[in-house]
Amino acid sequence: MVRRSLGGDKGARYSTGMPNTLIKSIEAEFRRYKALAEGALVQVADPLLSSPGPSNGNSLATICWHVAGNLQSRFTEFLSSDGEKPWRRREEEFLARTVSREALLEKWAAGWEVLFATLATLSDADLPAAVTIRGQSLAVHEALHRSLAHVSYHVGQIVYLAHALSGPAWRYLSIPPGGSDAYNARPAYDKPLAQAEVLREVGPADPPAPAT
């Protein structure tokens, strides 16, 4: 596919005075959501990673499989081929599966590696260029924001389900209940990369106290 600009000279609006300002901003938000998901997953016991969600909904493993499959498809040859690859098996991503933590994290990482490798090749000058997804033309900036919204939607599911599975041992990944005043006095992670750095320090949830 030959890249082309959408909207004539509209690409001029992406001139920020700084190189790749918008691409870097989008990448930072992707890294925030990746870290949020990983901060949630680390708190869930291994056997529960494959447990169905409420009403027999998707497990954490299934959601991660889908996110990874989507990222691999969308960002392999991002500028030169359709984002819905013929080798993708989307329906299979949603099958119930029992996997180890190692297998889940390997699959998860594979999708993100493709995304970040592609973002590293882009500049703000690419934003008005056209790509296709399922034959539909989108500007690069539209495709990136669409993917970011998709990831954030599923990361919200991961955090919600992980919290439910972890129970009272859950460690909050943002401002905890009752913590707004303390956070407002010393905000630590309003910027995405700052929050991603804080989330790297989240460890497994503490085991529940033994019954007495």
Residue 191 has pLDDT above 90, yes or no: no
Give the Cα-Cα-Cα angle 45, 47, 51 (nearest 5 degrees): 105
| Contacts of 198 by beta carbon, 8 Å cutoff, 6+ apart | 188, 189
Q: In the structure encoding, which two tokens stand for residue 48, read together?
A: 């529960």
| Contacts of 127 by beta carbon, 8 Å cutoff, 6+ apart | 11, 14, 22, 23, 139, 140, 141, 144
Band of residue 200 on the pLDDT scale cut at 50, 70, 90: confident
Under DSSP, the state recorded for 44 is: S
Rounded average pLDDT over 93-122: 97
Instruction: Output the domain CATH number for residue 187.
Output: 1.20.120.450
Residue 117 has pLDDT above 90, yes or no: yes
Query: Is the CB of residue 96 less than 8 Å from the CB of residue 62?
Result: yes
Model confidence pLDDT, tens digit, residues 124-133: 999 999 999 9
Q: How far is CA 28 from CA 21, 31, 171, in A?
A: 11, 5, 23
Q: For residue 80, what pLDDT is reported?
A: 97
Model confidence pLDDT, tens digit, residues 142-162: 999 999 999 999 999 999 999
Sign of CA dihedral 75, 76, 80, 81: negative
Q: Is residue 209 part of a domain?
A: no
Query: Is the CB of residue 76 less than 8 Å from the CB of residue 85?
Result: yes
Model confidence pLDDT, tens digit, residues 30-66: 999 999 999 999 999 999 999 999 999 999 999 999 9
Higher pLDDT, 11 or 163: 163
Q: Is residue 4 part of a domain?
A: no
Q: Is residue 204 part of a domain?
A: no
Query: Is the CB of residue 130 less than 8 Å from the CB of residue 6?
Result: yes
Instruction: Give the domain range for residue 125.
Output: 16-199
Number of domains within the chain = 1
Block residue for tokens 């030169």: 80
Q: Is residue 211 part of a domain?
A: no
Residue 28 has pLDDT above 90, yes or no: yes
Lowest mean pLDDT among 20-29, 149-158, 174-183: 174-183
Q: Is residue 2 part of a domain?
A: no
Q: For residue 22, what pLDDT is reported?
A: 96
Q: For residue 211, what pLDDT is reported?
A: 41
d(CA 97, CA 192): 32
Three-state helix/strand/coil letters over 163-208: HHHHHHHCCCCCCCCCCHHHHHHCCCCCCHHHHHHHHCCCCCCCCC
Q: Is residue 6 part of a domain?
A: no
What's the chain's average pLDDT? 88
Q: Is residue 5 part of a domain?
A: no
